[in-house]
């Protein structure tokens, strides 16, 4: 495929980190290209509400937030290419990013590709995915109106999505492998007030049963195995960096695969930056992703044109 332009900054991912980098980059006079697999907004678009972002006193819907970002980029005429990244060449002065629908060259690359949900890795999980096994409450909650479901996990995502699912499901078992939640206390308070939620502490799911769709789970509670009849299971067992295209790349990452950066979002390879959830960081939130994007674009601008 023909390569026709060398961009100042190729941005992998159009979530808050990538979109804000595009905004700051464009405003700084850089030529930028955002390469996004699906739609702008990233992970937040599959969340019901964003409640902790400044300037939205009543919160904002996740997909609405994505649409607003898209509009903001369109206003600045920041180009967006829809495509799934296959390979990257990060070493040297000319970086290359190849995706299903094109190949692009840039003086710098910003990796802002976010995270993917972890699987539980149990029998029935893959077989019944989309038939009662879900990782996205916003996408699938409506199928479980009046039903009995399980939510797995004890982090912010499990708690937040339990609150959302409580508007649909008649009964929710919140299954957590320990006796203490990891998620924020304000979310814990919200969950504890929901009458249809029963927390199963010290419990794991060992098997998902069903023929055409989920019908029951095999669970282990305090060492005892038993069956639990449910119509669906929503899994929030943490996330992992979404970087399949980095296989074999000599980019420094931590033991979980998150990209290591300094406070200018520079990685171990010159001209390669990382921002948002994909990098090792203390707090993974929309606001910190946006901040990373602003810092990365400013650092790229300095790297290319100041020094
Ligand atoms: P997380 O904080 O890593 O929590 C994952 C949960 O899944 C933990 O409770 C963990 O148990 C459990 N878990 C992991 N592997 C498991 C397994 N194999 N079987 C059963 N349970 C398992 O992940 P997250 O909730 O997806 O959140 C990811 C990041 O996004 C966090 O930084 C979070 O703060 C942020 N986030 C923020 C918000 C918000 O602020 N509103 C919303 C969503 C996400 P243990 O506790 O025992 O480890």
Residue 274: inside a domain: yes
Look at ligand 1, atom 14, and give the residue with the nearest C-alpha: 237
pLDDT at 3: 52
Contact between 97 and 125 under an 8 Å Cβ cutoff? The reply is no
Q: Which atom belonging to ligand 1 lies closest to the Cα atom of 156?
A: 25
What are the φ and ψ backbone dihedral angles of 115, each rounded to 5 degrees? -130, 165
Is 140 tagged catalytic?
Answer: yes
Residue 131 confidence (pLDDT) above 60? yes
Catalytic residue list contains 99: no
131 C-alpha vs ligand 1 centroid, how far in Å? Answer: 23
CATH number, position 105? 3.50.50.60
pLDDT (tens digit per residue) in 216-271 = 999 999 889 999 999 999 999 999 999 999 998 999 999 999 999 999 999 999 99
Inside any domain, residue 166: yes
Domain carrying residue 194: 119-235
Number of domains in the chain: 2
Q: 277: Cβ below 6 Å to ligand 1?
A: no
Ligand 1 pocket test, candidate residues 179, 237, 281, most atoms within 8 A of CB:
237
Q: Whose CA is nearest to atom 7 of ligand 1?
A: 237
Q: What is the percent of the chain where pLDDT is above 70?
A: 98
Shortest CA distance to 165 belongs to which of 135, 202, 130?
A: 135
Q: Which range is least confidently modeled, 11-15, 40-44, 254-258, 280-284?
A: 40-44
CB of 220 within 6 A of ligand 1: the answer is no
pLDDT score for 52:
86
- Give yes or no: residues 147 and 211 share one domain: yes
For residues 218 and 272, membership in a common domain is answered with no
**CA distance to 72, 114, 117, per residue, from 52 (Å):** 20, 19, 22
1 domain residue, yes or no: no
Between strands 171-175 and 203-210, the pairing is unpaired
What tokens does 20 get?
């804000």
CA of residue 305 to ligand 1 center, whole Å: 40
Residue 222 makes CB contacts below 8 A (sequence gap 6+) with 202, 203
Same domain, 70 and 137: no
Q: How crowded is residue 58: how many other Cβ atoms within 10 Å of its Cβ?
A: 6
- 8 Å CB contact between 22 and 70: no
Ligand 1 touching residue 182 (CB < 6 A): yes
């Amino acid at each position: 495929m023909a390569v026709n332009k060398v961009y100042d900054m190729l941005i992998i991912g159009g979530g808050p980190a990538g979109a804000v980098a595009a905004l700051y980059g464009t405003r700084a006079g850089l030529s930028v290209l955002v390469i996004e697999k699906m739609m702008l907004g990233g992970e937040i678009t599959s969340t019901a509400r964003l409640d902790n972002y400044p300037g939205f006193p009543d919160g904002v819907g996740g997909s609405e937030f994505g649409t607003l970002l898209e509009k903001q980029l369109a206003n600045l005429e920041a180009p967006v290419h829809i495509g799934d990244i296959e390979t990257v060449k990060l070493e040297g002065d000319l970086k290359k990013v190849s995706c299903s629908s094109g190949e692009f060259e840039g003086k710098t690359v910003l990796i802002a590709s976010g995270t993917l949900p972890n699987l539980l890795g149990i029998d029935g999980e893959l077989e019944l995915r989309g038939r009662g096994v879900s990782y996205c409450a916003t996408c699938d909650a409506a199928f479980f109106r009046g039903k009995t479901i399980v939510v797995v996990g004890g982090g912010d995502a499990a708690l937040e999505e339990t609150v959302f699912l409580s508007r649909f499901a008649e009964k929710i078992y919140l299954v957590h492998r320990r006796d203490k939640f990891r998620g924020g206390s304000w979310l814990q308070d919200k969950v504890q007030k929901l009458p249809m939620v029963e927390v199963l502490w010290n419990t794991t799911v060992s098997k998902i049963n069903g023929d055409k769709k989920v019908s029951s789970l095999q669970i282990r509670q305090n060492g005892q195995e038993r069956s639990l009849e449910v119509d669906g299971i929503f899994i929030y067992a943490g996330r992992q960096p979404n970087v399949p295209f980095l296989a074999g790349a000599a980019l420094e990452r931590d033991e979980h695969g998150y990209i290591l950066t300094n406070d200018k979002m520079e990685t171990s390879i010159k001209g390669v930056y990382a921002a948002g959830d994909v990098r090792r960081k203390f707090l993974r939130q929309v606001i910190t992703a946006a901040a990373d994007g602003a810092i990365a674009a400013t650092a790229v601008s300095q790297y290319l044109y100041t020094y």
